[in-house]
């Protein structure tokens, strides 16, 4: 069934990649019994709403040739782990503020034989001011649940000039893009295209927002921890 869904999104998938995605499902569901990683445990729904949704970006953008990608607020490893499986030569950094989730993902990545992948525990408001991470990434992806204005402030400080922020959104994507205009401009970005699609196998509407980083982010941003969420730009 899942291969049919990939076909409907025009995303080719090899048996080897599918096998690793299935193994990740098994590892996560096993760990989910003692740690809250996902509320979706049914196999087909998990593959649709986590795996397929993470990889839908491949329909519009290829990570081939991209050197460094950050997944901000990776949670249970999405979209970072599925994307890493699809693009093994690209270096991925998965970031989350919940350390125990990262430790599980790191262990699972080892079991899957994934390399060129690192895991960083911390808050974006702090990490984005660290020279190790500031403006070091070609692409940043995020499926985090915060509104786009907040996500833009948290994300663009990590991205190089000329780089790209890819935000996974639902039906509110178009409205959020309009509301985030000030944040995008303040952080040195330009609003790019928005792609809408339906997730195969249900009535789930999704959107992907592309924001290009055209200028350096002012040193004062992002603001202190908690402020971007409480008072979006």
Residue 36 and residue 8: Cα distance in Å, rounded? Answer: 31
| DSSP assigned state of 173 | H
Percent of the chain topping pLDDT 90: 92
DSSP letter string, 143-164: --SS-HHHHHHHHGGGEEEEEE
- At 128-167, the pLDDT tens digits run 999 999 999 999 999 988 999 999 999 999 999 999 999 9
CATH of domain 2-230: 3.40.50.150
User: pLDDT band for position 86 (50/70/90)?
Assistant: very high
Cα–Cα distance, 136 to 131 (Å, whole number): 8
How far is the CA of 203 from the CAs of 114, 145, 170, in angstroms? 33, 20, 11
The answer to whether residue 1 scores a pLDDT higher than 80 is: no
Are residues 209 and 151 in contact, defined by beta-carbon separation less than 8 angstroms? no
The per-residue pLDDT for 20 is: 97
Measured in degrees and rounded to the nearest 5, phi and psi for residue 14 equal -85, 160
Strand order in the sheet with 137-142: 117-121, 91-96, 68-72, 137-142, 159-169, 204-213, 189-199
Exposed e or buried b per residue across 34-47, where buried means at least 16 C-beta atoms within 10 angstroms of its C-beta? eeebbebeeeeebb
DSSP-derived pairing of the beta strands 137-142 and 189-199: unpaired
Q: What is the pLDDT at residue 78?
A: 97
Token duo for residue 152: 């833009």
Q: Tell me the per-residue pLDDT of 74-85, one tens digit each, with 9 for 90 and over.
A: 999 999 999 999
Cα separation, 212 vs 189, whole angstroms: 5
């Amino acid at each position: 069934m899942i291969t049919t869904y990939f076909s409907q999104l025009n995303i080719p998938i090899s048996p080897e990649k599918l096998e690793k995605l299935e193994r990740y499902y098994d590892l996560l569901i096993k760990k989910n019994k003692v740690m809250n990683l996902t509320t979706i445990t049914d196999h087909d729904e998990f593959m649709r709403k986590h795996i397929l949704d993470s990889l839908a970006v491949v329909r519009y953008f290829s990570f081939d040739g991209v050197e460094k990608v950050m997944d901000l607020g990776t949670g249970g490893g999405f979209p970072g782990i599925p994307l890493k499986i699809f693009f093994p030569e690209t270096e991925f950094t998965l970031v989350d503020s919940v350390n125990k989730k990262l430790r599980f993902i790191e262990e699972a990545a080892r079991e899957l034989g994934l390399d060129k992948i690192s895991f960083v525990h911390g808050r974006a408001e702090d990490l984005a001011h660290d020279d190790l991470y500031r403006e070091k990434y070609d692409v940043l992806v995020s499926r985090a649940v915060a509104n786009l204005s907040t996500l833009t402030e948290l994300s663009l400080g990590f991205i190089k000039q000329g780089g790209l922020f890819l935000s996974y959104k639902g039906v509110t994507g178009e409205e959020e893009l309009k509301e985030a205009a000030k944040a995008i401009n303040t952080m040195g970005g330009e609003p790019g295209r928005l792609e809408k699609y339906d997730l195969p196998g249900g009535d789930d509407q999704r959107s992907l927002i592309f924001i290009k980083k055209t200028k350096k982010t002012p040193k004062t941003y992002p603001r202190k921890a908690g402020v971007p969420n409480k008072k979006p730009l």
